[in-house]
Amino acid sequence: MENRPRYELRPYLVIWNATLGIFSIFGAVRVVPTLIYSAKYNGKEYTLCSSLDTMDVNEFWGCMFTFSKVLELGDTLFVVLRKQKLIFLHWYHHTTVLVYVWYLSPHTPGFAQWFMGMNFTVHSIMYNYYALRAMKFHVPRFISMLITSLQLSQMICGFVLTCMAFQLNLKGVKCGDSYQQIMYGMMMYVSYFVLFANFFYKNYLAGKPKLSNAETSHRKKRS
């Protein structure tokens, strides 16, 4: 790819992001209300510890969610083909989520439905935002900041939920097939929080580095 020209894939990128955005909206609309209802009438232990195999709606969307993580690798393909910078956060996040979701999939623990609900909700905003950007709509900067803030909140909630599942296990309530499922989830969410926090700081809080006189002159000649 190094010596090849970048591919102009904007129309395909619009369709790709819009499709994932609409899919995420449907997922959020189906999973989140079911989750809230279950938490209200069955309690937190049920939603955290009961397998998705016992919940018809979330079992179906659990399968859809799992397969969607394979499709989302297409994001990385677009980055490579368009010769954009592929940051560590991007490929690490996609790869580890895919591995973890498929690791949980044989007997998906209840706390995974919380992960699904949060992920569908954030992605319903994020992918539609990307679709608008691909269509060259001007989207205010604060929307991008909001999306990253939601992702950070998702990582905090995910870590708290895995801690709750771990505490329930210590009390003798079986949450998941093994402690490894919970511990891997904890480590995953901590690493995501650190990376997303660093991304937020560099992109929205840190000031732009000052250019030297030579760099300023060079930019003026190119403009």
Are the C-beta atoms of 203 and 100 separated by less than 8 Å?
no
Phi then psi for residue 121, to 5 deg, are: -65, -50
- Distance, in Å, from the CA atom of 56 to the CA atom of 81, rounded to the nearest integer, reads 39
Reported as half-sphere exposure (CB side, CA atoms, 13 A), residue 172 has a value of 0
Give residue 219's pLDDT.
37
Return the number of other C-beta atoms located less than 10 Å from residue 200's C-beta. 16
Give residue 85's pLDDT.
87
Q: Where in the chain are the domains?
A: 9-203
Higher pLDDT, 101 or 175: 101
> Which amino acid, 26?
F
Give residue 217's pLDDT.
38
Residues 17-29, mean pLDDT to the nearest whole number: 96
Listed residue (27, 49, 29) closest to 39, CA to CA: 49
Q: What percent of the chain has pLDDT over 70?
A: 87
Residues 11-17, mean pLDDT to the nearest whole number: 95
Active site residue 138: no
Pick the catalytic residue from 93, 94, 123, 138: 93
> Which amino acid, 148?
T
Report whether pLDDT(111) > 90: no
> Which amino acid, 204?
Y
Give the pLDDT band (50/70/90) at residue 208. low
Give residue 174's pLDDT.
83
Residues 153-158, mean pLDDT to the nearest whole number: 96
Q: Is 216 exposed, middle or buried (0-12, 13-18, 19+ CB in 10 A)?
A: exposed
Give the pLDDT band (50/70/90) at residue 207. low
Report whether pLDDT(50) > 60: yes
Report whether pLDDT(6) > 80: no
- Distance, in Å, from the CA atom of 219 to the CA atom of 196, rounded to the nearest integer, reads 30
